[in-house]
């Protein structure tokens, strides 16, 4: 350290948080709110050493006036922990079982085919071949997700995949999990017994109350998809148990302004959480402009919905908003989260991958949606034509990894929220024809920045009750447990 300065400033990024404070974030994701006055002193090397701000900055690794070696050790451990998702390779493997669907939703992002178009089915041979490739992944955890169309329309291939994968896993001994993405309307007792036997999870769709759900989720045969869904949901819960079914909402103009009604509907139907996600402009969702809304409107509703959910939790109703939970985990802990869009490099391909009905491989669901729209820019290869190595170490894959590190992306490289955020190269390409993308016009960027800032406002408020709720989500515990309301005194074991 030069004698000229009383301390050394460690690398950090900053953003003006409000009219009198800045938020500082260091390379490992530690953060600190600082007044503008103190900030000026800090960067002017004028902070007195007994000062609490000085100690806070030192404790949070923004400056150092003594031995730097162990600080670097601590920072590097935190950074390495955050990037631990890179140790494992692809764990999420989606398979497009068929493009046929008995629904014709107004926002269908894959442009599904009608129930009779069997040529869009994945054959059992293709499925087996794909499973062979899946088991090439070095990851200890393998999740196979059946996508569509409506995968239940090609039930034989679903069964074949499950049984073949289980058989292969006898040797590989990985943590193997299956998920069926289904609208549930074609489920029946036999199928449910089968799914129960093989411990399969269900991911379904629910857009909100009946009027909203029925408006966009249309059955090809006509009639209310909501009524059918409710009936089948009950049957599914009865057989599989309550914890095996989760639902995803698609946010359109129709439910965006009724976000609290959506939450109420989810709770009424027994779901323990919701994932507020903005509409992805692929397939019909891109064409159908009546569904669209400015991203600012989404953020507004997101905030409203989140506040509403927090209040519900404080009233004793456990309900989670999953996107906030992901971002909060990234802000408040150093532990890695497994969400493809919030990773750097992007998790597309290296964390999750999708196998099309014909054995084509794409780095993400969105990439195959793009392919359905006629642009095969992200085709990584085909399981019949290419080797595992060629697919997963090919041009597409390496380019995505190289160009989706927020640490180097223009606009992201200097962003204070960088370490909490991630990259969506496919979306970037869709919007700008360039994987790197253009932040000033990116909705992805606008949305994440606003939401992360909002979460920081909540963190800064430091309301004890709200903190309890947020941590009950992050640590997957009951609020009562955190508040010591549900158990007697600990035993004296420590």
Partner 1 sequence: MVKVFQGIPINIKHPIIGRITKEKKSLLQRVNTILVTHEFRGLNFGYSVIITSQEKFHRSFFNKLRVICGVSNEDILKLNEGDVVLIEPDGKINIIWDVKSNQNCILATEECNCRCLMCPQPPKKDLDKDKRYRLNLKLLKLLDPNKTFHICITGGEPTLLGDRFFQLVELCKNRFPKANLTILTNGRKFSDFKFAKKLVGIAHPKLLICISLHADTDTEHDYIAGAKGTFSDTIRGIRNLALFRQKLEIRIVIHKLNYKRLPQISNFIYRNFPFVLHIAFMGLEITGLARKNFKKIWIDPYEYREELQSAVLFLNRRALNVSIYNLPLCLIPQKIWRFTRRSISNWKNDYLPKCNYCVKKNECCGIFTTSGKFQSPNIKPIQSR
Residue closer to partner 1 (CB basis): 19 or 485: 485
* Interface positions, 107-146, toward partner 1 (CB under 8 A): none
Binding status of residue 467 toward partner 1 by CB under 8 A: yes
* Interface positions, 280-339, toward partner 1 (CB under 8 A): 332-335
Interface with partner 1 (CB under 8 A), residue total 33
- Enumerate residues 6+ apart whose C-beta is below 8 A from 57: 24, 32, 34, 42, 47, 63
Residue closer to partner 1 (CB basis): 78 or 100: 78
Q: Name the token pair of 383.
A: 């399981």
Residue closer to partner 1 (CB basis): 328 or 423: 328
Closest approach of Cβ 65 to partner 1, in Å? 8
Angstrom CA distances, 141 to 70, 136, 339, stand at 34, 12, 15
Compute the distance between CA of residue 464 and CA of residue 377 in angstroms, rounded to an integer. Answer: 49
**The one segment of 105-113, 257-265, 398-406, 460-468 that binds partner 1 by CB under 8 A:** 460-468
Of the candidates 290, 233, 282, the residue with the CA atom closest to the CA atom of residue 256: 290
Residue closer to partner 1 (CB basis): 58 or 403: 58
DSSP tag of 173? -
Pattern of binders to partner 1 over 40-79, x per CB under 8 A? ---------x--x--xx-xxx----xxx-xx--xx--xx-
Pattern of binders to partner 1 over 414-453, x per CB under 8 A? ----------------------------------------
Of the candidates 221, 212, 195, the residue with the CA atom closest to the CA atom of residue 249: 212
Binding status of residue 9 toward partner 1 by CB under 8 A: no
* Residue with the two structure tokens 């109350």: 209
Q: Which of 87, 167, 221, 475 binds partner 1 (CB under 8 A)?
A: 475
* Residue with the two structure tokens 């099309």: 356
Q: Are 151 and 160 in contact (CB under 8 A)?
A: no
Residue closer to partner 1 (CB basis): 382 or 467: 467
Closest approach of Cβ 203 to partner 1, in Å? 27
- 453: helix, coil or strand? helix
DSSP tag of 137? S
**The one segment of 172-180, 266-274, 411-419, 484-492 that binds partner 1 by CB under 8 A:** 484-492
Residue closer to partner 1 (CB basis): 289 or 464: 464
* Interface positions, 175-204, toward partner 1 (CB under 8 A): none
Q: Which of 188, 223, 484, 486 binds partner 1 (CB under 8 A)?
A: 484
Compute the distance between CA of residue 494 and CA of residue 490 in angstroms, rounded to an integer. Answer: 9
Compute the distance between CA of residue 86 and CA of residue 487 in angstroms, rounded to an integer. Answer: 38
Compute the distance between CA of residue 217 and CA of residue 214 in angstroms, rounded to an integer. Answer: 5
Closest approach of Cβ 447 to partner 1, in Å? 27
Question: Virtual CA dihedral for 475, 480, 484, 487, nearest 10 degrees?
Answer: -100
- 135: helix, coil or strand? coil
Compute the distance between CA of residue 424 and CA of residue 202 in angstroms, rounded to an integer. Answer: 26
Closest approach of Cβ 471 to partner 1, in Å? 4
Residue closer to partner 1 (CB basis): 78 or 93: 78
Closest approach of Cβ 55 to partner 1, in Å? 6
- 218: helix, coil or strand? coil
Closest approach of Cβ 174 to partner 1, in Å? 22
> How far is CA 80 from its chain centroid?
20
Binding status of residue 468 toward partner 1 by CB under 8 A: yes
H/E run at residue 14 = strand 12-16
Q: Are 343 and 298 in contact (CB under 8 A)?
A: no
Residue closer to partner 1 (CB basis): 58 or 174: 58
- Give the binding site for partner 1 (CB under 8 A): 30, 49, 52, 55-56, 58-60, 65-67, 69-70, 73-74, 77-78, 332-335, 464, 467-468, 471, 475, 477, 482, 484, 489-490, 492, 494
């Amino acid at each position: 350290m030069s004698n000229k300065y009383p301390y050394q400033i460690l690398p950090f990024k900053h953003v003006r948080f409000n009219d009198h404070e800045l938020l500082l974030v260091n390379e490992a994701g530690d953060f600190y709110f600082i007044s503008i006055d103190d900030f000026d002193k800090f960067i002017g090397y004028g902070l007195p050493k007994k000062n609490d701000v000085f100690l806070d900055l030192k404790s949070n690794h923004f400056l150092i006036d003594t031995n730097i070696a162990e600080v670097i050790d601590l920072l590097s451990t935190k950074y390495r922990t955050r990037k631990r998702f890179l140790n494992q390779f692809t764990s999420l493997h989606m398979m497009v079982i068929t493009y046929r669907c008995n629904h014709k939703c107004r926002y269908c992002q894959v442009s599904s085919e009608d129930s009779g178009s069997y040529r869009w089915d994945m054959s059992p041979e293709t499925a087996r071949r794909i499973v062979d490739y899946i088991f090439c992944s070095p990851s200890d955890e393998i999740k196979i997700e059946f996508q569509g169309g409506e995968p239940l329309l090609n039930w034989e291939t679903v069964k074949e995949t499950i049984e073949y994968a289980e058989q292969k896993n006898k040797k590989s001994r990985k943590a193997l999990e299956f998920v069926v993405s289904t609208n549930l309307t074609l489920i029946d007792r036999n199928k449910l017994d089968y799914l129960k036997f093989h411990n399969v999870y269900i991911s379904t769709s629910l857009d909100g109350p009946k009027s909203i759900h029925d408006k966009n989720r249309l059955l090809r045969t006509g009639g209310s998809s909501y009524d059918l869904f409710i009936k089948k949901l009950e049957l599914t819960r009865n057989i599989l148990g309550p914890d095996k079914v989760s639902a995803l909402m698609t946010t359109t103009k129709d439910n965006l302004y009724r976000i609290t009604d959506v939450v109420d509907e989810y709770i009424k139907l027994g779901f323990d959480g919701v994932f507020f996600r903005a509409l992805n402009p692929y397939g019909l969702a891109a064409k159908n402009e009546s569904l669209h809304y400015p991203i600012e409107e989404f953020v507004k509703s997101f905030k409203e919905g989140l506040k509403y959910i927090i209040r519900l939790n404080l009233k004793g109703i456990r309900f989670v908003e999953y996107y906030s939970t992901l971002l909060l985990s990234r802000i408040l802990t150093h532990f890695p989260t497994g969400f493809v869009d919030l990773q750097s490099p992007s998790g597309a391909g290296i964390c999750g991958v999708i196998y099309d009905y014909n054995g084509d491989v794409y780095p993400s669901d969105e990439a195959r949606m793009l392919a359905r729209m006629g642009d095969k820019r992200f085709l990584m290869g085909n399981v019949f034509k290419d080797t595992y190595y060629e697919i997963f170490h090919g041009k597409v894959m390496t380019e995505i990894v190289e160009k989706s590190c927020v640490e180097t992306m223009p606009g992201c490289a200097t962003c204070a929220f960088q370490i909490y955020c991630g990259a969506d190269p496919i979306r970037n390409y869709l919007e700008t024809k360039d994987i790197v993308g253009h932040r000033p016009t990116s909705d992805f960027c606008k949305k994440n920045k606003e939401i992360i800032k909002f979460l920081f406002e909540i963190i800064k408020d430091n309301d004890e009750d709200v903190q309890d709720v947020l941590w009950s989500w992050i640590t997957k515990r009951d609020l009562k447990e955190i508040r010591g309301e549900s158990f007697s005194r600990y035993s004296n074991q420590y």
